[in-house]
């Protein structure tokens, strides 16, 4: 169970950083437990361990490349190092400056929102929704998520946006991968698709 929880956290929070890894370069994966004296930090050391974490990071890298159709070096930007920090923080996890911070409380069984520091014109809800789309496609969507068609805004984030993106991808295979690539250089609204999505599940 601990391995599954950590893997899930990786998949959700890696989205922001893994997209930049370049396959032909040696990427260094590091796990740094700064909460070693907390119950979650002890559990990480005893049950999960840094080597398992590194292997999970590598597996998540290839899963995300596949999901977002990043099949060539040209699709990826170079990122030489991915550091996972196990911290005693509020919330579950966040990513900042190519660093992934996972809460020791999450390893101890806490389940809450993943937080990432997002800047720019792209709605934070869309970034979080893409991250939870990865979670959905990896088979880690929890039972408490909203059902398809629920929610008030497409860019609400988390489960609402993840399910909406899954719907969009069902209409056009590769939609989310294309959207993800376009977010690197710009952003445009998908309000009409949201309207169609709501209508489909209102029946």
- If pLDDT is split at 50, 70 and 90, which confidence band does 19 have? very low
What's the confidence (pLDDT) of residue 82? 77
What's the confidence (pLDDT) of residue 155? 86
The CA distance from 32 to 151, in Å, is 37
| More confident call, 159 vs 92 | 159
Domain assignments of the chain as residue spans, ordered by start: 2-107, 124-197
Q: Rg of the Cα trace of the chain?
A: 17
Q: What is the pLDDT of residues 144-202, one digit of tens each?
A: 999 999 999 988 888 999 999 999 999 999 999 988 877 776 666 677 778 888 888 88
Q: Residue 133 above 80 pLDDT?
A: yes
Q: Tokens representing 79? A: 């990122």
């Amino acid at each position: 169970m601990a391995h599954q929880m950590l893997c899930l956290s990786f998949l959700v929070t890696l989205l922001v950083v893994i997209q930049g890894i370049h396959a032909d370069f040696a990427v260094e994966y590091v796990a740094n437990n700064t909460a070693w004296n907390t119950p979650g930090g002890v559990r990480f050391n005893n049950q999960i361990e840094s080597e398992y974490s590194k292997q999970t990071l590598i597996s998540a890298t290839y899963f995300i490349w596949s999901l977002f159709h990043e099949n060539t070096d040209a699709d990826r930007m170079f990122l030489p190092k991915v550091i996972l920090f196990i911290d005693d923080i509020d919330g579950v996890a966040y990513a900042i400056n190519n660093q992934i911070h996972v809460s020791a409380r999450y390893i101890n069984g806490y389940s809450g929102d993943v937080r990432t520091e997002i800047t720019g014109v792209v709605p934070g809800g869309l970034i979080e929704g893409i991250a939870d789309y990865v979670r959905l496609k990896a088979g880690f969507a929890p039972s408490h998520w909203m059902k398809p068609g629920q929610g008030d805004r497409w860019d609400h984030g988390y489960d609402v946006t993840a399910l909406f993106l899954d719907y969009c991808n069902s209409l056009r295979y590769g939609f989310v991968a294309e959207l993800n690539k376009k977010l690197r250089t710009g952003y445009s609204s998908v309000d009409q698709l949201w309207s169609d999505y709501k209508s489909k599940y209102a029946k």
